[in-house]
Amino acid sequence: MNGGAAERQILLARLEWLRLLGIDSIRCAPAGGVPAEDSVAEERQGRSPEESAPAPPAAAPRVVVQTGLFGVTEAAEETGPPARRARSEAGAHSPLAAARAPEAPAPAEALRLIREEIGDCRRCRLSEKRTHIVFGVGDPGARLTFVGEGPGVDEDRQGEPFVGRAGQLLTRIIESMGLRREEVYIANVVKCRPPENRTPLPDEIASCSPFLFQQMTAIGPRVIVCLGTPAAQTVLGTRETISRLRGVFREVRGIQVMPTFHPAYLLRNPAAKKDVWEDMKKVMAFLKTAG
């Protein structure tokens, strides 16, 4: 698929997602070009991403469509108090921020309906070689959720997220937080394994991420922990890499989002475990005060 066709597919997928949600207003984003290409490859190889170029000065609010790894961010002029209009940090334009679920069913029933809607999905090329759709697992009423990139070979074989070596490390992190795996909810941006565990492509994320947003909306957690660059970019609607995002809470529709390194990255770079633990201590402190 060429670049123009991929961008059109991404845009159509996101606009359809907004239409299904009944969205009638969209937040404002600063004007500017598409940011430089992200450095997921550098992260996977244990290298720090290069600093991105400074953003151009903000212009008057205007309608923009920005393509990125997570799909697109749509924005239009917004009225209201200046303090509200000034919110331009990552998360203010997240597709999750637009989701509304009035008179929603109970979380368990909502998740069942989402899984039913996915069906035997053939919406993108990832379906061609998968063994199982990896939907998600855990407590439908969880206060804490973890979102990764996509299934690996073990997850594809078993149909459950985070069951391989990286998943075992995630389980140990959860237990170190004083929780059990059954008490949180775990999902991925895409539900089918990318070939050779490559990063999901933009059109694949555009096809699958609406189901992730529906899952998070149904559960309504207090905190979403995004594991790695693709998960953070998808949930927050940003092109920033995890090295720049991690360790700082961002609020999306009343949900606190904490980006941190993926467990697979920790297996290759054990020294980063201390950074993830610092991030998880912030999550624990927030959950304790949030009640």
- List the chain pLDDT tens, one digit each, 291 residues: 555 665 665 566 556 545 544 444 444 333 333 333 333 333 444 444 443 444 444 443 322 222 223 333 333 333 344 333 333 355 666 777 665 545 668 999 999 999 999 999 999 999 999 999 999 999 999 999 999 999 999 999 999 999 999 999 999 999 999 999 999 999 999 999 999 999 999 999 999 999 999 999 999 999 999 999 999 999 999 999 999 999 999 999 899 999 999 999 999 999 999 999 999 999 999 999 997
Strand partners, 226: 147, 259
Instruction: Show the tokens assigned to 28.
Output: 């404002």
Domain ranges in the chain are 1-291
- The pLDDT of residue 94: 73
Short-list 148, 175, 176, 178, CA closest to 161: 148
State how beta strands 255-260 and 223-227 pair.
parallel
**pLDDT digit string, tens, across residues 42-90:** 344 444 444 344 444 444 332 222 222 333 333 333 334 433 333 335 5
Would the CA dihedral through 175, 165, 276, 185 be positive or negative?
A: negative
Q: Look at the block and give the residue holding tokens 């941006």.
A: 189
Instruction: Show the tokens assigned to 201.
Output: 């492509």
pTM of the model: 0.70
- The pLDDT of residue 291: 73
Is residue 63 a contact partner of residue 264, using CB atoms and an 8 Å limit?
no
- Give me the helices (H) in 22-72, please: 40-44
In CATH terms, is domain 1-291 a member of 3.30.300.180?
Answer: no
